[in-house]
Amino acid sequence: MHVGRYRFVDRLAVGGMAEVFIAIAQGSEGFERPVVVKRLLPHLAALPRFRQMFVDEARIMLSLQHGNIVQILDMGRLDGVPFLALEYVDGRDLRTVLERVRQHGMALPRELMAFVAAEVCRGLDYAHRKRDDQGRPLHIVHRDINPANIFISYEGAVKVGDFGLAKARDNLEQSDAGVIKGKLSYLSPEQAQGQPIDLRSDIFSLGTTLYEATTGQRPFGGDSDVEIVMRVRDGRYTRPSLLDPEYPPALEAIVTRALQPDPRDRYATAAVMGEELQRYLQSAPSRTGDRRLAHFLDELLGQDRRSQSALFRLPPAQALPPVMSSVSHRGSLSDYRHGAPPAGDEEPLAIDPPPVPLPAAGGVGVAAPPAGRPPSPPPLPSLARATPPHDRYIGWLAGGVLVAVAGLLLWRALQPAAALDPPRVSDAPRAALRRERRPRATRVPPRAGVASADAAAVAAVAPRDGGRRGEGGEAPQAQDVAPVRPRAAVVAARRPRRPTRGVLEIATTLAGEVYVDGRLAGRTPGFRRELRPGRHSVSVRPSGRQIRHDGLVEIVAGKTQRLTLTAGPTTAAPSKRGAMR
């Protein structure tokens, strides 16, 4: 779908203020480059306050030109709605990298994470020191440093993105006093309490990210937001060396200083913290840099990279669904992640759900929006008007073919049931269905009086347009054909099965064996196993240690019991919070 000089390829996410797309910017002589387009939600574009906040973000980002910061390339309006065109980084965000590392039972090399943090320090120091045209400091503070806003390219480049919460001295739309913005688990003590902040708040958030990436768990956990804020305020966390006795002392000293509750005890600038990280890297046993980081990402995410590249080979008509109001959250695949994070983003890393896999080119998800999903924003009118005339002729022809196919399906539905073969129901997961290539078809406007259940039945058997739709997209539109009674077999195929087993997960950085009910069940880290409901005895025996970690767990069908194992000196049963010591 073309809008101006941009060809939209896919929707990444819809957040609280904006929706984000991958697009191709097209110029003269066949020039093309991938970009990320961030568009203010239409219903917010009518409010002056939100328009000004959006413009403020653009102004801040436009002033930041640095190799470790995501660049803004263009700003304008699409049908009167403000948008930003941002640099596309061919890679992944750090949160996705950490999730994949956990899924594969691997450990992110600490030297690599120290290199990533040092590169982030470069970008932050530049932003913190930025001055206006008259030489006055802008006092820019990012305010939302966390793994989801740190991007790593497949070539090993590290960039800081999403300055949507950044605060500069000359911001026209100042933040409300006492309002907490950002992800709670990564806020500094002063930010969590709604107090004034400066650049040292970003240093604390980076220290939290460094701790998480090098230990496998967040430093400030809790059963409630209040408990998390109190732990952050008091600086109560487990030192990395207590989780792993082999944790490098020099790296622990850096993390500990960055996580000081009092800003005066932290690093004075991001540059000083970056220098400490560089000294640690120089003393590390193996050299680390962008090449080693690129090699690590290629081994971990090589298949993802090939899937991303396939996106840009889609023809224009398959690039975006005609209705732009579906809500889709995916594992980040671009340089920029905006808006509100998916639900559950504040859970500890060791228990985060895996990211939604990126469907292959041409996949279509046929699923209704989950209950509780916020209403979708209205569609962008200019997109419907952007269809060239000759495409409409083809659309009419395809629509006629679709009506003929629907008529054939109706005739078959009216035949005796004995004459029909039972429909074959695949056991493949829903994600696999979304990866199937679907033939292109044109949407036909819905007709009044067609029941939603009939429309769902038609959508289940008739191909839709080639637009890619993430999980949670809009339900298929009813076609302009006679109602078709859904068959019981089709309805039954879409009914989820009742789970009969539960899942046990053990989050730890220690390597060892896991015994369930006296039998060897797997190894840590990365232990995950389905168990029958009921009470089970669990024993974790770390390699090379004399101590054991024993306890009892209660497994519930359809639920996940997560245990956190720390490297304590004694043996104890699991606590009520699911921690083994």
Q: What share of the chain is helix, strand, coil (3-state, %, to 5)?
A: 35, 20, 45
User: Could you tell me the two tokens for 17?
Assistant: 């203020």
Please name every residue paired with 528 in a beta bridge, in sequence order, or none if there are none. 505
Distance CA(1)–CA(7), nearest Å, equals 6
Provide the CA 237 distance to its chain's centre, in angstroms: 26
Cross-strand bridge partners of residue 3: 6
User: Do 192 and 168 touch, CB atoms closer than 8 A?
Assistant: no
Weakest-pLDDT range from 22-36, 407-421, 499-513: 407-421
Question: Residue 42: helix, strand or coil by DSSP?
Answer: helix
Catalytic residues: 144
Helix (H, G, I), strand (E, B) or coil at 307: helix
pLDDT band with cut points at 50, 70 and 90 for residue 551 = confident
The model's pLDDT over 60-70, given as tens digits with 9 standing for 90+, comes to: 778 899 999 99
Torsion (CA) 370, 373, 379, 384 in degrees, nearest 10:
-20
Q: How many CB atoms lie within 10 A of CB 304?
A: 20
Lowest mean per-residue pLDDT among 68-77, 327-336, 407-416:
327-336
Q: Give the whole-angstrom CA distance, residue 253 versus residue 248.
A: 9
Contacts 24+ apart (CB under 8 A), 251-258: 251/110, 251/114, 251/214, 251/280, 254/114, 254/207, 254/210, 254/280, 255/207, 255/210, 255/211, 255/214, 257/207, 258/203, 258/204, 258/206, 258/207, 258/210
pLDDT, tens only, 241-300: 999 999 999 999 999 999 999 999 999 999 999 999 999 999 988 788 999 999 999 888
- The confidence score (pLDDT) of residue 496 equals 60
What CA–CA distances, in Å, run from 272 to 118, 127, 207, 251, 279? Answer: 10, 15, 13, 14, 11
Distance CA 296, CA 156 (A): 9
Q: Are 164 and 156 in contact (CB under 8 A)?
A: no
* Mean pLDDT of the 131-160 span: 93
Rounded mean pLDDT of the chain? 70
| pLDDT the model gives residue 519 | 83
Q: For the residues of 187-242, what is the DSSP string, one character each?
A: --HHHHTT----HHHHHHHHHHHHHHHHHSS-SS--SSHHHHHHHHHHT----HHH
Q: Residue 36, SS3? A: strand
CATH 3.40.80 fits 502-580, yes or no: no
pTM score, two decimals?
0.55
Do residues 484 and 413 lie in contact, with contact meaning Cβ atoms separated by under 8 Å? Answer: yes
Strand 502-507 vs strand 560-565: parallel, antiparallel, or unpaired? parallel
Q: What is the DSSP string of 473-522?
A: -PPPPPPSS---PPPHHHHHHHSPPPP--EEEEEE-S--EEEEETTEEEE
Q: Are 280 and 251 in contact (CB under 8 A)?
A: yes
CA dist 245 → 211, 256, 350, 545, 572 (Å): 15, 15, 19, 12, 19
Structure tokens at 239: 């030192």
130-144 tens-digit pLDDT:
998 899 998 999 999
Residue extent(s) of CATH 2.60.40 domains in the chain:
502-580
Q: Are 3 and 383 in contact (CB under 8 A)?
A: yes
pLDDT above 80: residue 157: yes
One-character DSSP codes across 396-434: HHHHHHHHHHHHHHHHHHTS-GGGSPPPP---S-HHHHH
Mean pLDDT (whole number) for 302-315:
62
424 band by pLDDT with thresholds 50, 70 and 90: very low
Instruction: Please answer whether residues 479 and 458 qualify as being in contact, where contact means their C-beta atoms are separated by less than 8 angstroms.
Output: yes
Better-predicted residue by pLDDT, 219 or 388? 219
Q: Cβ distance 130 to 140 under 8 Å?
A: yes
What SS3 class is residue 172? Answer: coil
Contact criterion met (CB below 8 Å) for 218 and 211: yes
Beta-carbon neighbour count of residue 558 at 10 Å? 11
Q: How far apart are CA 412 and CA 514, in angstroms?
A: 55
Q: Checking phi first, is residue 135 left (phi over 0); if not, alpha (psi -120 to 50) or beta?
A: left
Residues of the chain with CATH 1.10.510.10: 2-351
* Alpha-carbon gap, residue 326 to 332, rounded angstroms: 17
Q: Residue 95's pLDDT band (boundaries 50, 70, 90)?
A: very high
Report phi then psi at 486, rounded to 5. Answer: -65, 140
Model pLDDT, residue 479: 39
Q: Please report, rounded to a whole number, the percentage of residues in the chain having pLDDT higher than 90.
A: 29
In three-state secondary structure terms, 322 is coil
Q: Are 150 and 129 in contact (CB under 8 A)?
A: no
Rounded distance, CA 379 to CA 377, Å? Answer: 6
DSSP 76-140: EEETTEEEEEEEPPSEEEHHHHHHHHHHTT----HHHHHHHHHHHHHHHHHHHT-B-TTS-B---
Q: Which residues of 202-214 are buried (b: 16+ CB within 10 A; e: fewer)?
A: bbbbbbbbbbbbb
* CATH superfamily placement of domain 2-351: Transferase(Phosphotransferase) domain 1 (1.10.510.10)
Please state, in angstroms and rounded to a whole number, the distance separating the CA atoms of residues 456 and 453.
Answer: 5
Burial label, 519 (beta-carbon count in 10 A; 0-12, 13-18, 19+): exposed
Give pLDDT tens digits for 405-415.
555 554 555 55
